[in-house]
Amino acid sequence: MENPAVKFGKITPGMQNMAAPLAADSTQPLRHVAVIMDGNNRWAKARGLPGHEGHIAGVERVRDMIESCQRHAVDVVTLFAFSSENWQRPALEVSALMTLFATYIKKEAKALHERGIRLRVIGERDRFSSRLQKRIVDAEALTLNNTAMTLVLAVDYGGRGDIVSASKKLAQQVLDGALSVDDIDENVFEQNLCLADLPQPDLCIRTAGEQRISNFLLWQLAYSELYFADCYWPDFDACAFDDAAAAYYQRQRRFGLSQEQMVGAEEERRAESVQARVSA
């Protein structure tokens, strides 16, 4: 039986092509998409393949995800590639994942640059090999000034660790006399998080039917829309992304306001739009 909570994250069949017209009439642009890419191992197991084959298929799907996001005019896509907790997995699997990540950086940096995409990697790096660390630095430097899109890879990343790191930075500033405790508010705190210079995610997608965020962008996802897809990550194709985008545009993001306030604001926006067309 289909989980009703997962079904809530979907739209009815045949609506894949609705995202574009919905976007055109929306007051909530889809600027930043965050993705928890789950199910690679299960995808491989279901096909009688070794686990690393699932991760390889997952990397191929990343390219499709980037194309889908560009097609929907998304500015930022953040992919949860390897969590700080993933080090607890079998050593052979971790080694394979690190090798795959290093290969991806080496092969894709130039392609991303040619498409005008900036690459950023967030998370701890001290457990990476020196060779991998250099590849990351080189790829980020190569794509630094690109503006078509920003691709963020969260590797050895954890949301709790991000918050702890920000807290330590603020504590040090207080100790140094550069900041007063009374000066610390949400805005100041947020400026010390790893994605401070980017818009917060509008939509967070998780594949493989799981319904949790697993220590991913805990602060940044506070008001994000959540979408849970049943399919494994290697099967999350362009049509699946269209479904997620269309579902997003059909939701109403209130940010603490009442439905009546939101309706009033929407009516005012439409009236202004009509007046602008008449004046033109």
Residue 252 φ/ψ region, left for φ over 0, alpha for ψ in the -120 to 50 degree band, beta for the rest: beta
Give the chain's domains with CATH numbers: 28-249 (3.40.1180.10)
**Across residues 215-230, what is the average pLDDT?**
97
Pairing between β-strand 32-36 and β-strand 117-122 as defined by DSSP bridges: unpaired
Model pLDDT for residues 103-114, shown as the tens digit of each residue: 999 999 999 999
Element (H, E) at 150: strand 149-157
Query: pLDDT band at residue 26, thresholds of 50, 70 and 90?
Result: low
Query: pLDDT band at residue 14, thresholds of 50, 70 and 90?
Result: very low
Distance of alpha carbon 10 from alpha carbon 4, whole angstroms: 10
Active site residue 86: yes
Active-site annotation holder among 3, 25, 38, 197: 38
**Across residues 10-33, what is the average pLDDT?**
64
Q: Say if CB 43 and CB 229 are below 8 A apart.
A: no
Active-site annotation holder among 17, 40, 86, 197: 86
**Across residues 85-102, what is the average pLDDT?**
94
The percent of residues above 90 in pLDDT, for the chain, comes to: 80
pLDDT at 256 over 90: no
Task: Retrieve residue 128's tokens.
Answer: 């990476």
Task: Retrieve residue 225's tokens.
Answer: 């829309």
In angstroms, the Cα distances linking 210 to 3, 36, 116, 136, 224 are 10, 10, 33, 30, 17
Distance of alpha carbon 150 from alpha carbon 72, whole angstroms: 14
pLDDT at 9 over 50: no
Distance of alpha carbon 261 from alpha carbon 95, whole angstroms: 52
Pairing between β-strand 203-206 and β-strand 32-36 as defined by DSSP bridges: parallel
Write down the pLDDT at residue 5.
36
Q: What letter represents residue 3's amino acid?
A: N
Write down the pLDDT at residue 260.
66
Q: Say if CB 141 and CB 109 are below 8 A apart.
A: no
Instruction: State the chain's mean pLDDT as an integer.
Output: 89
Distance of alpha carbon 164 from alpha carbon 209, whole angstroms: 29
pLDDT at 257 over 80: no
Active site residue 243: no
Q: Say if CB 84 and CB 156 are below 8 A apart.
A: yes
Distance of alpha carbon 57 from alpha carbon 46, whole angstroms: 13
Q: Tell me the whole-structure pTM to 2 decimals.
A: 0.84
Q: Determine the distance from the C-alpha atom of residue 33 to the mean position of all C-alpha atoms in its chain, rounded to a whole number.
A: 4
pLDDT at 135 over 60: yes
Q: Which of 258, 269, 249, 255 is nearest to 21 (CA)?
A: 249
